[in-house]
Amino acid sequence: MLIKDEYDLIIVGAGILGCAAAVAFGKQERNVLLIERDLNEPDRIVGELLQPGGVIALEKLGLAECLENIDSISCHGYVVFRDGQYVQIPYPDRSDGQPGRGRSFHHGRFVMNLRKAAAAESNVTIYEGIANEVILCPITDRAIGVSCSKKGESEVTINFFAPLTIIADGCFSKFRKEFIPKQVTVKSNFVGFVMTDSQLPYQNYGHVALGKISPILMYQISTEHARVLVDVPGKLPSNGTGALKKYLEEVVLPDIPKSLQTKFYEALKTERLRSMPNSFLPPSTNVNEGLILLGDAMNMRHPLTGGGMTVAFNDVVTLSELLHPSQIPDFSDTGLILSKMQTFHWRRKEYCSVINILAQALYTLFSANDENLRVLREGCFEYFLLGGRCISDPCGLLSGLRPKPMILIGHFFAVAVYSIYCFFAQSSILSIPQNIIKSFMVLYTACLVILPLLWTECQP
């Protein structure tokens, strides 16, 4: 397609969100320029599991076919392991009565399908180049376009102009600091590798092992490949010196289900180890005229629950509805767009708040680093063993099928109370006085986990 210098909308980043947004707005007859620094197939260790709530959003966007022909795997829920025990947690049904189903896949294959879908839209132009800076009007300070350099020709600069620009350049966004005041925090890293020619013991289920230090995730990303993600808290041991491999072998391997330990060990010896920071960034209201930051550039949560893509696709659905031509015929109306972005910020909380809070809270429990948190972690597993709504509701929250904040709060404190009950049940009568004090400390710790997270979601 012929490259012009003026468009209705510029999108920086042809990843998960950028491609979906390009398709959504292209279908609304907006002329869209999609800028991506490298159109080769990306290779990442995260963004490989789409929850059922994300599948539904993808269907609303007309992009469900992008999940096909990439050897993707249907995901029916999770199996959680602890000290030789396990509990199976299936997804609840969708609101339309169909079974809740997620999908897992090679990230790059999925992205390439999304890019093909974007390229097929007559109103979407894809440009391979590096977005260097957002062009601001010297008088109004409003964003009016993006300055780029062509791939392989850094000395050649080209300016593209549009009344609205969406920044979707991911977790390592180069533009975030310029436009968002909130800071990214990182408490751990995921170390990932692939187990080849492996079938996990519970077909079509993600596997979560509650290690003594932190959780380990395993799920099929194709018929032949199973992804392993090991959470490593604090400073990451050096891969170059062999310290990281030693840590995985000596500390993590014993926590892996015995049926998978041999494959885990073999892959550890032969596969490349890669890492990714597990970042947390509370959402912000977009207040910059002519500019919207979305996706990981604006809001991140721990990837333990795999909720990032679900939030991203739902954000595109919500934004495309709020900025529909029937609502905003011309993107030059910045005042109206800013008003819509206020609505967007609070409306998206209907689904993203639960996913954000649950991801951070579960990670804090599953990587328990003090005695009170360990009581909560053990109680959480025992709570799952109760079955019924003790697994269907939490899994509905995690999957994006039941994004109800009050259900989240209710179950979180139910876990805290049940954890205290389990703690008392395992203690002797003589220790009751000190256990009463301990129970208050456990409940206090539970409040310290969830209340700050609730507060971050109440902020503009």
CATH of 185-279, one of 3.30.70, 3.30.300, 3.30.1180, 1.10.3210: 3.30.70
This prediction's pTM: 0.95
Closest CA to 19 of 2, 7, 36, 5: 36
By the 8 A CB rule, do 105 and 48 touch?
A: yes
Give the number of other Cβ atoms within 10 Å of residue 293's Cβ. 24
Second-level CATH architecture of 9-42+52-65+107-182+283-350: 3-Layer(bba) Sandwich (3.50)
Q: Can you point out the beta strands (E) in 113-271?
A: 124-136, 143-150, 153-161, 164-167, 185-196, 206-210, 215-220, 225-233
Helices (H), 9-106: 16-26, 52-60
Query: How far is residue 150's CA from residue 166's CA, in Å, rounded to a whole number?
Result: 19
Residues of the chain with CATH 3.30.70: 185-279
| Terminal alpha carbon distance of the chain | 40
Residues of the chain with CATH 3.50.50.60: 9-42+52-65+107-182+283-350
Give 426-437 pLDDT, tens digit per residue: 876 667 777 888
Give 44-93 pLDDT, tens digit per residue: 999 999 999 999 999 999 999 999 999 999 999 999 999 989 999 999 99
Query: How far is residue 309's CA from residue 184's CA, in Å, rounded to a whole number?
Result: 18
List the pLDDT tens digit at each of the 460 positions of the chain.
568 899 999 999 999 999 999 999 999 999 999 999 999 999 999 999 999 999 999 999 999 999 999 999 999 999 999 998 999 999 999 999 999 999 999 999 999 999 999 999 999 999 999 999 999 999 999 999 999 998 878 778 999 999 999 999 999 999 999 999 999 999 999 999 999 988 899 999 999 999 999 999 999 999 999 999 999 999 999 999 999 999 999 999 999 999 999 999 999 999 999 999 999 999 999 999 999 999 999 999 999 999 999 999 999 999 999 999 999 999 999 999 999 999 999 999 989 999 999 999 999 999 998 999 999 999 999 999 999 999 999 999 999 999 999 999 999 999 999 999 999 888 766 677 778 888 999 999 999 999 999 999 998 8
Question: Locate tokens 């710790």: which residue?
Answer: 445
pLDDT value, residue 155: 77
pLDDT value, residue 424: 87
Helices (H) and strands (E) in the chain, counts: 13, 17
**Residue 13 three-state SS:** coil
Query: How far is residue 198's CA from residue 371's CA, in Å, rounded to a whole number?
Result: 36
